[in-house]
Amino acid sequence: MSSHGRTLVDYESDALLRSAVERQFVIIGEARSQLSRTDAELAGRVPELGEIIGFRNILVHGYAIVDDEQVWHTIDDLAALRAALRGLVDD
């Protein structure tokens, strides 16, 4: 599977790429967490909110158990999340 011209093998062998991808997921998870505190009604409309925050917590606090393959494949879920969030903005 490839994302932006990169593969899982690239991800696993490039510490800088892993750090960048994980950092972006942490930012996404933190944004969802903040949304839960500031607008619970809107946060409730975000698909898989709990999973997003939980994934962020694993990346931040459970780095010893981070599964590179799971992180890499989660990138595929971003398109659906982006579409769902655009739908909320357009409402």
pLDDT digits (tens, 9 = 90+) for 30-85: 998 898 899 999 888 888 888 888 899 999 998 788 999 999 989 888 888 888 88
Q: How confident is the model at residue 24 (pLDDT cuts 50, 70, 90)?
A: very high
Does the global pTM surpass 0.85?
Answer: no
The per-residue pLDDT for range 36-46, each reduced to its tens digit, is 899 999 888 88
**β-pair partners for 25:** none
Q: What are the sequence ranges of the domains in the chain?
A: 12-90
User: What average pLDDT does this structure show over 1-22?
Assistant: 88
pLDDT at 85: 85
The per-residue pLDDT for range 7-16, each reduced to its tens digit, is 999 999 999 9
55-to-5, 20, 44, 62 alpha-carbon distances in Å: 24, 15, 17, 10
